Amino acid sequence: MPDTIFIRDLLVRTILGINPDERENRQDVLINVRLHTDTRPAARTDDIRDAVNYRTIAKQIIDLAESSRFFLVETLAERIAELCLQDARVRSVWVRVEKPMALRFARGVGAEIHRERP
């Protein structure tokens, strides 16, 4: 089983949804990511160049989400997974995109996906 690097509860504001107000007003979206990789090379050298740089990936996710205008959480999740798999060290990725308070009486709704390198 591969090692995991995670980004938990990354909060971004974006246009996401199908309703007219969602197309005009940015809303909070929570993003969680698990990057499956082998951390041993980085642990051996203690060098960021040998690691999956979660700070870089988080910045890329923020840029993607904040500049997007997707209708579906599934689309945003898929694009985030594609972005994460651009790092050749990432073997697979699990992504969860959640819209807090999107439904009355629910804490949040969203989508979870898992993608592997082809």
Residue in 7, 99, 102, 110 annotated catalytic: 99
Is 99 assigned a catalytic role? yes
113 SS3 class: strand
Distance CA 46, CA 64 (A): 29
In terms of C-beta distances under 8 Å and separation of at least 24 residues, what long-range contacts does 62-66 make, across chains too? 62/10, 62/12, 65/12, 65/14, 65/29, 65/31, 66/12, 66/13, 66/14
By annotation, the residues acting in catalysis are 99
